[in-house]
């Protein structure tokens, strides 16, 4: 305790400067989280919304309705949304990493107009997510969308124009725009990591007769492990909580994206704000938050093990 007091007195000016930030973080983040957790234990719906946090306390009933009660309205579709979110998060994360790595390898070479090409590749990342959802919504239209015009009328890949915004194709209709939107971020971080690798390693490998493929697997790939770790963590978090693209693509949030297009965040939003079941929506959000905390801790465990092996 004395050591703690001594350290506080020694760095009291630093703590004083940090105090406004800490207070702002508590107001902007911690207070809403605590309030959301408390709401999960209330019967907070269209009949009790005027009571707000004074709504009747019902214990774990909302959690039961979300997780176990098959007749609960909010649980209808929650399993499909969980399945879609897992598939969506894994494919989008792998897709952005793969595409980002390929493009980073391409632009890491010396060629005319390299700076312009790098800037051009950042365009999808600059476009806001809600704009991305609207653009791709029109592009996926069955009759007049540019996607079907290219695939059917020009390339003749399909005999008829498929429907992308209904049925099983819906999942791909939200995966592809998300990969298009986020791969430049992966490319940027991977390119920065590649440029920090000493050139002497590649020169020594060339002297030993290593092929470009061996250089990638023996030098580039392992030395980018910290970047891979950060991108996987951010990718999984962003994709599990993905909302804007699906929200804008299907009726500006008013439409139901279907069995194969619904994600956890859109499911929670629809059941909370369109069916006015805020207590159950808060419970679903708390369950999702706890699952993500477990996932992040698992990631940290394997990341630390990878760091020790380096």
Q: Which residues, other chains included, contact 188 with Cβ-Cβ below 8 Å and sequence gap of 6+?
A: 100, 122, 125
The CA–CA distances, whole Å, from 240 to 32, 53, 77 equal 20, 28, 16
Please list the ranges in the chain whose pLDDT falls under 50. Answer: 254
Q: Please, is 303 exposed, middle or buried when counting C-beta atoms within 10 Å of its C-beta (0-12, 13-18, 19+)?
A: middle
Spell out the residues 6+ positions from residue 169 whose beta carbon is closer than 8 angstroms to its own: 162, 163, 260
pLDDT in tens, 251-308: 655 457 778 888 999 989 888 888 888 998 999 999 999 999 999 999 988 888 877 7
CA distance 114 to 119: 9
The runs of H, that is alpha helices, within 69-224 are 78-107, 114-121, 123-126, 129-139, 146-148, 169-195, 199-207, 212-215, 221-223
pLDDT confidence of residue 251: 66
pLDDT of residue 302: 86
Pick the closest to residue 219 from 233, 232, 235, 206 (CA basis).
206
Using one digit for the tens of pLDDT, what is the confidence trace for 137-159?
Answer: 999 998 889 999 999 999 989 88
Superfamily of domain 73-309: MetI-like (1.10.3720.10)
Q: How far is CA 42 from CA 60, 67, 93, 265, in A?
A: 9, 16, 36, 20
Give just the sign of the alpha carbon dihedral 68, 73, 74, 75: positive
DSSP readout, 85-107? HHHHHHHHHHHHHHHHHHHHHHH
**pLDDT value at residue 45:** 86
Q: Identify the pLDDT of residue 13.
A: 86
**pLDDT score of 166:** 86
Query: CA nearest 99: which of 193, 184, 197?
Result: 184
pLDDT at 241: 94
Q: What is the pLDDT of residue 61?
A: 92
């Amino acid at each position: 305790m004395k050591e703690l007091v001594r350290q506080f007195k020694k760095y009291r000016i630093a703590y004083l400067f940090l105090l406004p930030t800490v207070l702002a973080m508590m107001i902007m983040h911690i207070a809403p989280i605590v309030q959301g957790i408390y709401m999960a234990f209330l019967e907070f719906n269209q009949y009790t919304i005027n009571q707000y946090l004074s709504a009747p306390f019902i214990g774990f009933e909302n959690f039961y309705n979300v997780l176990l009660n098959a007749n609960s309205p909010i649980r209808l579709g929650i399993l499909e949304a969980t399945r879609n979110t897992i598939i969506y998060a894994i494919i989008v994360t792998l897709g952005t990493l793969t595409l980002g790595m390929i493009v980073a390898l391409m632009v890491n070479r010396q060629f005319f107009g390299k700076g312009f090409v790098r800037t051009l590749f950042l365009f999808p990342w600059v476009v806001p997510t809600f704009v991305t959802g609207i653009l791709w919504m029109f592009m996926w239209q069955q009759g007049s969308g540019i996607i079907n015009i290219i695939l059917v009328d020009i390339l003749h890949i399909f005999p008829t124009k498929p429907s992308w915004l209904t049925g099983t194709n819906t999942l791909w209709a939200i995966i592809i725009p998300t990969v298009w939107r986020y791969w430049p971020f992966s490319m940027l971080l991977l390119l920065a990591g590649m440029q920090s690798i000493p050139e002497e390693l590649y020169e020594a490998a060339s002297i030993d007769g290593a092929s470009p493929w061996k250089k990638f697997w023996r030098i580039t790939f392992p030395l980018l492990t910290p970047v891979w770790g950060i991108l996987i963590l951010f990718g999984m978090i962003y994709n599990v909580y993905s909302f804007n693209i699906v929200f804008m693509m299907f009726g500006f949030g008013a439409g139901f994206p279907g069995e194969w297009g619904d994600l956890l965040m859109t499911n929670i939003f629809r059941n909370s704000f369109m069916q006015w079941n805020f207590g159950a929506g808060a419970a679903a959000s708390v369950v999702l938050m706890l699952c993500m905390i477990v996932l992040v801790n698992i990631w940290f465990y394997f990341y630390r093990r990878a760091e020790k092996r380096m």
